[in-house]
Amino acid sequence: MCSVILANSQCMDSLAVLRDTANLSVLNKKRWRVAFVTIYCSRAFFPRFQQHEILSRRWSKISPDPSSRITLDVFLEHPLFSGVDQSSLLKVVKDKSLDHLAKLGGVEGISSSLKTDFLYGITGDLEDISSRHEAFGTNTYRKPPTHSFLHFVWEAFKDPTILILLLCAAFSLGFGIKENGPKEGWYDGGSIFVAVFLVISVSSISNFKQSRRFEKLSKVSSNIPVEVVRNSRRQQITIFDIVVGEVVCLKIGDQVPADGLFIEGHSLQVDESSMTGESDHVEINTYQRPFLFSGTKVADGYGKMIVTSVGMNTTWGEMMSTISRDSNEQTPLQMRLNKLTSSIGKVGLAVAFLVLLVLLVRYFTGSTEDDNGNKEFNGSRTKADDVINAVVRIITAAVTIVVVAIPEGLPLAVTLTLAYSMKRMMADQAMVRKLSACETMGSATTICTDKTGTLTLNQMKVTKFWLGKESLEGMDYSLISSNVLELFYQGIGLNTRGSVYRSEISGTYLEFSGSPTEKAILSWAMLELNMDMEAVKRDCNVLNVEAFNSEKKRSGILMKKVEDGGSHVHWKGAAEMILAMCSHYYDVKGDIKELNDFERVKFDQIIQGMAASSLRCIAFANKQVLEVEHESGANHPRIKDNGLTLLGMVGLKDPCRPGVKRAVEDCQFAGVNVKMITGDNVFTAKAIATECGILHLNQEENDDTVIEGVEFRGYTDEERMEKVDKICVMARSSPFDKLLMVQCLKRKGHVVAVTGDGTNDAPALKEADIGLSMGIQGTEVAKESSDIVILDDNFTSVATVLRWGRCVYNNIQKFIQFQLTVNVAALVINFVAAVSAGEVPLTAVQLLWVNLIMDTLGALALATERPTKELMNKKPVGRTEPLITNVMWRNLLAQALYQISVLLILQFRGESILSISRRVNDTLIFNTFVLCQVFNEFNARELEKKNVFEGIHKNKLFLGIVGITLILQVVMVEFLKKFADTERLNWGQWGLCMGIAAASWPICWLVKSIPVTDRPVSSFFSFKNF
């Protein structure tokens, strides 16, 4: 409990006396604290109450004096964690207070109080976790409240057209009741109210559901796996399960999951820019800077930390609690559609204004008649109520035309198809972090992919071992010289970020952790070379470490033997790079031989031979150090990297993923270039690329299809731009080379997708149009820089994302074609009828009904079409392709002209041709118009194929929506006569409506036989930018 007490200076003296009572028992201390708080609270507050009136007068002028405040923290310590409480732990890290840390006994003292062992971690059983939650809280953040359903209802009400309609409905309701009484007079106004309510309800429910779906996806994306030590075993848990006292293992690219203190590690540097805004990396060490903050990123090195604060008790937690994720992210396609909607809305507004003028002029000139054939306006003889009622009716009709003209279903269709595709892509092992990536992926022209784990299984196994120039495959490893074997033990057991867990029960079960390469080498050393890792660590002390990174492709250590004090340097890494650092090598007998040029060529051939067999080549080298040197200006000793002795080399096999060749071929067939960018040597890269189908046997080696990073880096800008399209494989590449290739490809007009897993891949992932990070091997830095996370690290999932991206784009185009057909037909019909006959054939309620079922149900039906194989038969859309293509203009104009022609014939000649009354004719026009849209939904399923019914049985949602639309239309016409202003139709009239609507199918089939020009039709209109 924390109390802020306003007190005088005497309180300070009493507080000092209380703190100096060091000899009191813990129980007596607690009693004294309670007594102190009670006495001084009353003494502090009593005189303040007497001065309340004076203070209240001066409060607005004088702010409270901070110097007169004392903050007294009274924490009842948890019985299991004596000596520390949440307040003291929070103060240590938040204030970076070394003095306070020393008072608590340093990191060791805090560890002891929290019952944490640096080596074995916490016990991690249910009782232990529960007590830590009770004492220090959970690692979750208090989030701002999400928008309620009423928020989305209010947003829908803000639409000006809806407000105008509600105002018109209110006028119509009032005049109707006054003129015809409550029993009959509410129909016109009430029906508009109901229609508007339905539109608002559907829009609000849809937006509310999408908001909840995006919120759920954001929870998944923030669920970060963290490596901890519990009960002496390294294991992965979710970031939300971290507790105070936890021992967390950190490596390059990790996010620090909570506030804590540094235990041990090497070259650990942290990027604190997310907290401080400073871009410089902070070096973490035991004595000067042991403080680690939640939300920061590990930039280099590795280490362990003990967690001191979690959740809302961390600085990051306080900050995150005030930040809400924006689920209303606007994608580029949504912005283009908003512009399109705005332009169409302006056209609709102009048409509505003209209709309003024509109807008002015709009314006030006496050109309109009521149902009995009498003039509606007779000058001064017409009642004022009748005039106002007529004007309101005319305004309502004009506003309704605007409502129908504005295709608000377009943004809804984008939201629906993006949300639907995001959900499906999650099931297909792809988590979308940025909405725009869904649609952009459909336009991708080039995919730059990693090799390890993406094209291959990332399940490494040592299959080759070379000692000197001899392959020891199948030989007895006990024949290896003991001194060489000991050096191997040191180079493998100490120069690693991996670890080994041995079961305490059986003692034989081994569990390896770390990267796949580390696990493979450790497994081989312990099972084949009989290495005792615990003994190696016990007999040697590591003085300095240079951690592995993707640029240097090596790692090194400087160690000292406990027994004789001898120091050795050990290096491990890419074989040709380690070989370049060596001047000697060990042979099978354990003798040291000179590595002259002739021998170096032989070793190069061994490396190339393993690489050509798709093996990753790792070499080990060693050097005894007589005198430890220090780096200039640095505290840590230098790790020498020249004049080394080559210990040996291993070849690791990483088989290609099943199905990856087919996925690569699918991408290539779809017109997407696949380039492999890897850190492996050129021979391994060629072998894997050929196996995966990226390289073909008939491609010659001298045509620049295979290149090394250093060579690509050395080209001039002109040479790079000339050769970048031809390159299929880049070997021995650095993250900078990957970034350089992405920049070149984008300058050439490509839409580039890039896969990456390392921290250094972040610039390339950000630069690419679509960044694809790996969910298993990817670091948190890479994931945060990416747009989509491939959860299974599989290239097949990348191809699936490409297919879904094209599906999103295609579904939007289908709905645009369908929606614009409705808009064009409705606008033309109402405008022509208003100008020529002085009335609109479709009433406000009928137009709102059309707007509802076409915008909402139509969007739902067409936006949820699943990807088809045909999508991968087309070439990429690219950056400049218009959204409304020639094919779409051809289809929508043909259908719109057909609907306009038929409905205008019914409007002007329907009564005489069919011998029916005016009300029945109006109902016939309304029913035909709606059914034409229902049948046209089938036509919109395929933009180019003539068979629009293919695969329709698989889309049950589409069939369900069409069925619901038809049922609702029957109800509107047959049972809601007063509401919809309709008359019942007989079987013959229903058959006529169905026949006219069904004729759109053969028209569609015929129209798709008409060839279209290469020049976009949209370039002639204002839509050319869409």
Catalytic residue, candidates 259, 300, 450, 855: 450
CA-based nearest residue to 492, from 579, 572, 596, 410:
572
3-state SS class at 260: strand
Instruction: State how far the alpha carbon of 235 is from the alpha carbons of 238, 327, 501, 514, 520, in Å.
Output: 10, 33, 10, 10, 18
Q: Tokens 């059309």 appear where?
A: 850
Would strands 69-73 and 225-230 be described as parallel, antiparallel, or unpaired? Answer: unpaired
Counting every residue written for the chain, the total comes to: 1026
Cα distance between the two ends of the chain: 61
| Tokens matching residue 523 | 């497994």
- Tell how strand 752-756 and strand 770-774 pair up: parallel
Contact between residue 155 and residue 265 where contact means Cβ atoms under 8 Å apart: no
Euclidean distance between CA atoms 630 and 636, whole angstroms: 6
Cα dist. 993→319, 833, 897, 901 in Å? 62, 20, 17, 14
Q: Up-side HSE of residue 990: CA atoms within 13 Å toward CB?
A: 10
Rg value, the chain, Cα: 38
- What is the DSSP secondary-structure string of 545-558? EE---TTT-EEEEE
Q: Which two tokens stand for residue 1001?
A: 């199918």
Task: Report the candidate in 974, 846, 825, 964 with the shortest Cα–Cα distance to residue 902.
Answer: 825
Token pair belonging to 350: 């102009």
- CA 214, 217, 223: angle at the middle one, nearest 5? 145
Q: Is 450 a catalytic residue?
A: yes
**CA–CA dist 99, 104 (Å, integer):** 9
Closest CA to 448 of 676, 661, 788: 676
What residues are paired with 269 via a beta bridge?
283, 300
Alpha carbon 876 to chain centroid, angstroms: 23
Strands (E), 272-406: 281-283, 291-292, 297-309
Q: In what helix (H) or strand (E) does residue 541 lie, and over which residues does it extend?
A: strand 540-546
Residue pointed to by tokens 């784009």: 809
Residue 464 tokens, joined: 């080759």
Q: Can you tell me which residue has the tokens 């590990």?
A: 298
Instruction: Give the position of tokens 């047959």.
Output: 974
SS3 category, 296: coil
For the stretch 667-685, what's the b/e string if a residue is b when 16 or more beta carbons lie within 10 angstroms of its beta carbon?
Answer: beebebbbbbbbbbbbbbb
Helices (H), 555-648: 575-580, 597-612
Q: What's the per-residue H, E or C state across 885-915?
A: CHHHHHHHHHHHHHHHHHHHHHHHHHHHHHC
Question: Do 573 and 646 contact (CB within 8 A), yes or no?
Answer: no
Q: How far apart are CA 393 and CA 840, in angstroms?
A: 11
| Residue partners of 758: CB distance under 8 A and separation at least 6 | 252, 253, 550, 735, 778, 779, 782
Six-digit token string for 163? 């407000």
* Amino acid of residue 243: V
> Catalytic residue numbers?
450
